[in-house]
Amino acid sequence: QVQLVESGGGSVQAGDSLRLSCAVSGVAFSNYGMGWFRQAPGQEREFIGRIRWIGGSTTYGDSVKGRFTISRDSAKNTLYLQMNSLKPEDTAVYYCAAQRFSAGRWEYWGQGTQVTVSS
């Protein structure tokens, strides 16, 4: 049973940094990619980036390139999203997700964690 549990959200000021965590269980990491998404009120879910658990290669969406970094700690089975130079437009619910390479879609989702950035 795949479980993804996000934590680390909160309210910060513009320019601050925040690190989100996603505790992962039930995943065969050699077969999965992990990702981060966000959704602001009234907007569609936005892809932030993804990481291959084995090897650690990453891909990012254009809106966060250079400010956000995805990493993982294999010993802790935890995915991270380091967010720097936060802007009010980064305010959203942030989700981690898991995808088998063969699936062609994101299959498993966490419950989300709220990030609010004030100016």
Indicate the average pLDDT of the chain. 94
CA distances, 46 to each of 5, 24, 30, 71, 73 (Å): 19, 21, 25, 19, 24
d(CA 79, CA 103): 20
d(CA 6, CA 80): 9
Mean pLDDT score, 32-51: 95
- The confidence score (pLDDT) of residue 31 equals 86
Residue 86, pLDDT above cutoff 90: yes
CA distances, 100 to each of 35, 40, 93 (Å): 11, 26, 23
Mean pLDDT score, 108-116: 97
In the chain, beta strands by DSSP E: 3-7, 10-13, 18-25, 32-39, 46-52, 58-60, 68-73, 78-83, 92-100, 108-109, 113-118
| 15-32 pLDDT per residue, tens | 999 999 999 999 888 888
Q: Are 3 and 24 in contact (CB under 8 A)?
A: yes
Residue 85, pLDDT above cutoff 90: yes
Residue 104, pLDDT above cutoff 90: no
- The confidence score (pLDDT) of residue 53 equals 87
Instruction: Give the pLDDT band (50/70/90) at residue 63.
Output: confident
CA distances, 82 to each of 22, 27, 85, 100 (Å): 12, 22, 10, 24
Residue (of 86, 107, 88, 104) closest to 96 by Cα position: 107
